[in-house]
Amino acid sequence: MRLFLGVMVFGMIVRCCLGPKLITLWADELNVAERPGGTPEEVATFFRPWPEAATRERLTDGPGCGRFVIVWVYTRLEYLGVVVGFPQGWPMFSGAHTSSRVCRARLLYADGRAEVVRLRSDPEDLTRYSRWNFDKVQNYEVELKEKKGYTAELLGYCNMLSHRHATNEAGSALKTIRLFWVRHDFPPPGADAREWLREQTRRPACIGRDAFTYDVTTRHGRWLAVPKR
């Protein structure tokens, strides 16, 4: 228990003092993965406490080794928090946003039909949004990002969709899942918020191209476009 509490307190101090942007910068410099892949082997490799060969080449001094330790502990604690359902977010310190991006799934069936599935955090009417008792669902939805290092989350989400939507109304089997992102802009100062949101409901500010594909038969996924950092 003392060890557990010590690690948790250390992680809280590191997160409060450094923040995710600096950790991402150090992770890029040292070539340290912030999230594991989707296979058990990749997860096991992710938790190995010694650096990979490409990282060892960049650990040329004491400060570099110290940054590696901090990045390794920070990212592993963050991942474990997501796994157990207690992720730590930064909404209080992230500043005012002007837009929001959400993931949508395009389901492609064997008979050629297609369906689009929205997240619970992506309502069909932006002027009427109410979601109760879905805190855990919305927590994992937040992790569906078009960003390097989040492949495991996308694979898990696609796997869930493949079970919930295995066939369409005609009984045809689900073959492929394509993920794409939609951006909604928030009403600017002075605008009629309700009319602005109605227009965003009808025509979002941006609908991205398909960025991730998942084969239901093989349960393998891959990026179609280069994910953003």
Question: Which pLDDT value is given to residue 175?
Answer: 97
Residues 105, 156, single domain; the answer is: yes
Asked whether residue 201 is domain-assigned, the answer is yes
Where among 49, 83, 117 does a domain terminate?
Answer: 83
Q: What is the pLDDT of residue 14?
A: 64
| Same-domain status, 197 and 128 | yes
Domain housing 40: 2-83
Taking the C-alpha atoms of 165, 166, 170 and 171 in order, what is their torsion angle to the nearest 10 degrees?
A: -150
pLDDT in tens, 128-146: 877 676 666 766 777 788 7
Taking only the tens place, the pLDDT of each residue in 55-102 is 888 888 888 898 898 888 888 877 877 776 655 555 545 556 788 888
Q: Do 67 and 105 lie in a common domain? A: no
How does pLDDT run across 157-185, given as a tens digit for each residue? 999 999 999 999 999 999 999 999 999 88
> Structural domain tally of the chain?
2
Residues 108 and 205 in one domain: yes
Q: Which residue has the tokens 């009319």?
A: 195
- If asked whether residues 38 and 147 sit together in one domain, one would say no
Q: Distance (Å, rounded) from C-alpha 9 to C-alpha 108? A: 46
Are 123 and 191 members of one domain? yes
CB-CB contact of 167 with 114 (8 Å): no
Mean pLDDT, residues 91-116 taken together: 82
Q: Which of 5, 34, 4, 7 is nearest to 227 (CA)?
A: 34
Domain assignment present for 93 = no
Same domain? For 17 and 119 the reply is no
For residues 193 and 127, what is the distance between their CA atoms, to the nearest angstrom?
9
Co-location of 44 and 107 in the same domain: no
Same domain, 136 and 44: no
